[in-house]
Structures are given as structure tokens and as C-alpha cells.
Amino acid sequence: MLVRSIRWAHQGSPRSQMSPHKLMYVKWGRPVGKSLLLSVGTFYSLYYLWEYLERDENKKN
């Protein structure tokens, strides 16, 4: 983030000249991506844990 700020300051083009569409992705892309990654990771870890416990329970019966 600091590198981008320095690069923009060095180039002399203010951030307000970027299109609103691009600003939305710059602002929200990382948090949305992180939450999607965490939710998918949580889903699959719980799914495989459930499969493991179910398989273990079926072996005992």
C-alpha cells in the first residue's frame, strides 16, 4: 500500500483522477477476497472434518 502511494505521489497523478470503478476495486478488492478465501477455507475444512468423523463413526458400527 505504501509503495502504491509513493508511486502515485511520484508520478504526479492524484488518486481522484482514477475512474470510480477502479477505485471501488482498489478499495474493496482485498477485503472481499480475504473474506471469500476464509469462508471457502472454513467450509472445506469443516466438510472434510465432518466426513472424517462420519467415516470413523461408520467404522465403529
| pLDDT for residue 31 | 96
What CA–CA distance (Å, rounded) separates 3 from 17?
18
Q: What is the pLDDT of residues 3-61, one digit of tens each?
A: 666 555 556 555 568 899 999 999 999 999 999 999 999 999 999 999 999 999 898 87
Regarding pTM above 0.75, the answer is no
* C-alpha cell of residue 46: 469443516
What pLDDT was estimated at residue 60? 85
Domains of the chain, by residue range, sit at 19-60
DSSP-derived secondary structure letter, 13: -
